Amino acid sequence: MVIIRKPADIKPSEITPKEIYLNRRRFLREAAAVAAAGASAALLPCVTQAGQKIPNARKSPLSTGEKPTSVQDITSYNNFYEFGTDKKDPARNAQNFRTFPWSVAIEGEVKKPAVYPFEDFLKHFPLEERIYRLRCVEAWSMVVPWVGFPLRDLIRRLEPTSRAKYVEFTTLHDPEQMPGQKPGLFGAGLDWPYVEGLRLDEAMHPLTILAVGLYGEMLPNQNGAPIRLVVPWKYGFKSIKSIVKIRFVEKQPLTTWMKAGPSEYGFYSNVNPTVDHPRWSQAAERRIGEDSLFSPKRKTLMFNGYAEQVASLYTGMDLKKFF
């Protein structure tokens, strides 16, 4: 489904069914009740754009005390293959990416499927600043001061059915805007749109967030505007950008990277210094911004340093098999 288009392009057959409309109204009413009961939502203006200041994001106790990477590095060294495969490509090629209007379709095994405008999330979920380590599978890392809200807050509101075991996320598919999605040399040869997935308990973990900003401002386009996932104990590619669909499913989703290289990228993708990528070691990492001749590599930590919080999700699992 193409989300962004002029009203005239929308066929009558696509107009939101009444049930979905009513679900959305109920969602708003319940969210308003939560806000009135004390949790202060961010109350942003309706028109949002990259760089706009985010007021009153609470500082989260779940943040790392490590020094954040510079905003310059975070916004100019990116993996966002829809805009090119060079680290500098996304900052250049995503400049005119349109992220307004934007909506996220909620589908599958859930009692409240609907297409929610992005602003609904901003108005009704209190935003927090979460400073997290981000460890890319390519053995570099950053520390990012995200602004977002726990994915579990949204999931609870949507009421998954008992059949929902996994959550599948999909990025916008729009080759006109995303040149990397066109076949040819510029693309990464991935199967578009980009798809990621989590087990429902991973999605419900308090560390898992949907981010809408960084460094106190709405997300820059190259970082996944207007809304992206952040799962800090997994390799960066799980943290899917520019999400247009969240689907609750019974079976483990087939992700983009599993399709591209099943022997190299597994479903779990937990940061694990003892399980190497077939082509390189995962034992150490280079911290972006520290690449002087004298800065040693850092040792990669189990679950990217979040073992205390997340190890219990994987009790009894062979992490070499379920990589």
Ligand X SMILES: Nc1nc2c(c(=O)[nH]1)N[C@H]1C(S)=C(S)[C@@H](COP(=O)(O)O)O[C@H]1N2
306 annotated among ligand-binding-site residues: no
Least Cβ distance, residue 140 to Mo ion (angstroms): 8
Q: How far is the CB of 291 from ligand X (least distance, A)?
A: 16
- Residue number, 79 or 208, with CB nearest to Mo ion: 79
Is 82 among the annotated ligand-binding positions? yes
- With beta carbons less than 8 A apart as the criterion, state whether 31 and 25 touch: no
**Does the CA dihedral 126-129-134-140 come out positive or negative?**
positive
For position 136 contacting Mo ion by CB under 5 A, the verdict is yes
The span of 62-70, 134-142, 286-294, 300-308 binding Mo ion (CB under 5 A) equals 134-142
80 sits near ligand X (criterion: CB under 6 A): yes
Half-sphere exposure of 294 (CA within 13 A, CB side): 0
Q: Is 177 in the site for ligand X (CB under 6 A)?
A: no
* Contact assessment for residue 90 and residue 74, using Cβ atoms and an 8 Å cutoff: no
For ligand X, the binding residue among 84, 236, 253, 266 (CB under 6 A) is 236
Q: Which is nearer to ligand X, 121 or 132 (CB)?
A: 132
71/302 with CB nearer ligand X? 71
Segment (H or E) for 249: strand 243-249
Burial of 17 (0-12, 13-18, 19+ CB in 10 A): exposed
Instruction: State yes or no: residue 93 binds ligand X (CB under 6 A).
Output: no
* 239 lines the binding site for ligand X (CB under 6 A): yes
Q: What is the SS3 assignment for 19?
A: helix
Q: Which CB, 78 or 93, lies closer to ligand X?
A: 78
Q: Which residue has the tokens 């970082």?
A: 223
* Contact string (CB under 5 A) for Mo ion, positions 40-79, x = contact: ---------------------------------------x
Distance CA 74, CA 220 (A): 10
Residue with tokens 């009421």: 159
Q: What is the spatial distance between Cα 197 and Cα 108, in angstroms, rounded to a whole number?
A: 14
Closest by CA to 158, choosing from 94, 253, 248, 271, is: 248
Among 90, 150, 187, 236, binds Mo ion (CB under 5 A): 236
- Asked whether position 255 contacts ligand X by CB under 6 A, the answer is no
Q: The tokens of 130 are what?
A: 């979460």
- Asked if 299 and 284 touch (Cβ cutoff 8 Å), the reply is yes
Considering only the stretches 23-31, 116-124, 240-248, 301-309, report the one whose residues sit in contact with ligand X under the rule CB under 6 A: 240-248
Binding site for ligand X (CB under 6 A): 78-82, 134, 136, 171, 194, 223-224, 236-237, 239-242
* Contact positions vs Mo ion (CB under 5 A): 79, 136-137, 236-237
